[in-house]
Structure 1
């Protein structure tokens, strides 16, 4: 066999092995997401309906609480519920994805100690499961939009890049937190504090115009503000997000993904010693 033929054969084997690994990991991902979905709604009378009811009920409660607070802001009261539920479900997606992703490696310890499996599957699976719940929450958004008489427009197509951006961001953050949690359990408690602070530092129930000018400038560096504002732009305000908004969302997603992936891959071989 010639040297060139051998290289070609080795390359074909490498590609075949890679494809087999991808198919296996994807199959595991589907099974894990399905398992989590069944467990979440097991012995629940309303079942999946809670993914729609929960954001609706939260929107009602928060609307009652904050409507008076928002009277001085530049926000028509009839669209405030839509403004609120969009911000709430988007932030909840990130919160659930990162919380569950942070625990993913620790909770998978019994399996990881017995079976050789791609460890990255577990944090990614938690993010995908949160994305499924987010998709169901969009039904609640549709109900509120009908109530507020806000029609859909062709701008709804921007939901594809939006979901791509926030999915990549959550995967990166989930991988990073999953790694830290394995070595430093204090991160688990600290993250709940960070999320609480992040909630109030993000315009979920208030608008940017009530903030001082210097805080409005600082808000541009808040990834969740960028994603929520992007979502509101095409769904609530029915405008195409600007090229600058797309660039900001994509750059933040790629930075989070790169950092999370590199930290995870660099340390994953030591997980078995700490879980």
Structure 2
């Protein structure tokens, strides 16, 4: 290996180590800020999904829960998975704009800011899994070996969220309307995704084929189905679900990176 190649490799390793260090510091800072002056602290990350599950179970169990076994567990798994996506992308949406003071003073890889928001949402999701464990214990749902697939679905979902975060975080710098539009998209996405209802309801009511197809190709339907398969139904996700999870992760990441790399050199002029 030539001296030039060795220097290039050393520089790349140094840059990667720097980015990882910055990511750790930013995630730690956000974690401390979120729970600062909070009496219960991280306990809220466990209580929030539990309280939401109780409220939604009371409201929706009579309408949608009759055909779903262990409806509260069905509900909380869907809710925490969708919240991971919505929380991470909503935070990534503001990541570049909020980092303006730092971008103007320090030379740093800009992609760390959207990625950091997604990683921080993942940390909160980890605490939410404690709530899921409580519900499993309450309904006597015994964990099985299928939970070893949890890291797989989380990696795919994180790549999906990072891709979206890079795209909308970049576009929000130039078009602030994206901030308002994304709230509408998330709301519509919530109702399009079977979080508190079951897809079988649409099939039983003979809903148009295009609506059923739209739900099935919905990225969050597939990630939530993957999660419910390993937590609730205790089975290996179908090849279709797994394939669509991979497809959406790769597609979102590629599009996000293309948009980000195309626009990042102009961030400093607009933030």
TM-score, normalised with respect to structure 1:
0.95
Structure 2 partner of 1:27:
21
Q: Does 1:270 align with 2:263?
A: no
Report the alpha carbon displacement of residue 109 of structure 1 after superposing the two structures with TM.
Answer: 0.2
Report the alpha carbon displacement of residue 213 of structure 1 after superposing the two structures with TM.
Answer: 5.4
Report the alpha carbon displacement of residue 74 of structure 1 after superposing the two structures with TM.
Answer: 2.3
> SS of the counterpart of 1:240?
coil
Structure 2 partner of 1:80:
71
Report the alpha carbon displacement of residue 139 of structure 1 after superposing the two structures with TM.
Answer: 0.2
For these two proteins, the number of residue pairs brought into alignment is: 266
Structure 1 partner of 2:254:
258
Report the alpha carbon displacement of residue 162 of structure 1 after superposing the two structures with TM.
Answer: 0.5
Match for 1:122 among 91, 95, 113?
113
Report the alpha carbon displacement of residue 10 of structure 1 after superposing the two structures with TM.
Answer: 0.9
Structure 2 partner of 1:60:
54
Structure 1 residues not aligned, in runs of 5+: none
Structure 2 partner of 1:69:
63
Q: Distance in 2 between matches of 1:266 and 1:138?
A: 37
Alignment of 1:1-275 (within 5 A): 8-70=2-64, 73-76=66-69, 79-211=70-202, 212=207, 214=209, 215-275=211-271
Rg (Cα) greater in structure: 1
Q: 1:50-99 deviations in whole A, cap 9, x for unaligned?
A: 0000000000000000011125x5213xx000000011001100001000
Report the alpha carbon displacement of residue 116 of structure 1 after superposing the two structures with TM.
Answer: 0.6
Structure 2 residues not aligned, in runs of 5+: none
Q: Distance in 2 between matches of 1:273 and 1:217?
A: 42
Pairwise CA RMSD: 1.0
TM-score, normalised with respect to structure 2:
0.96
Q: Distance in 2 between matches of 1:213 and 1:234?
A: 29
Report the alpha carbon displacement of residue 232 of structure 1 after superposing the two structures with TM.
Answer: 0.3
Q: Distance in 2 between matches of 1:70 and 1:193?
A: 24
Regions of 4+ moved over 6 Å:
none
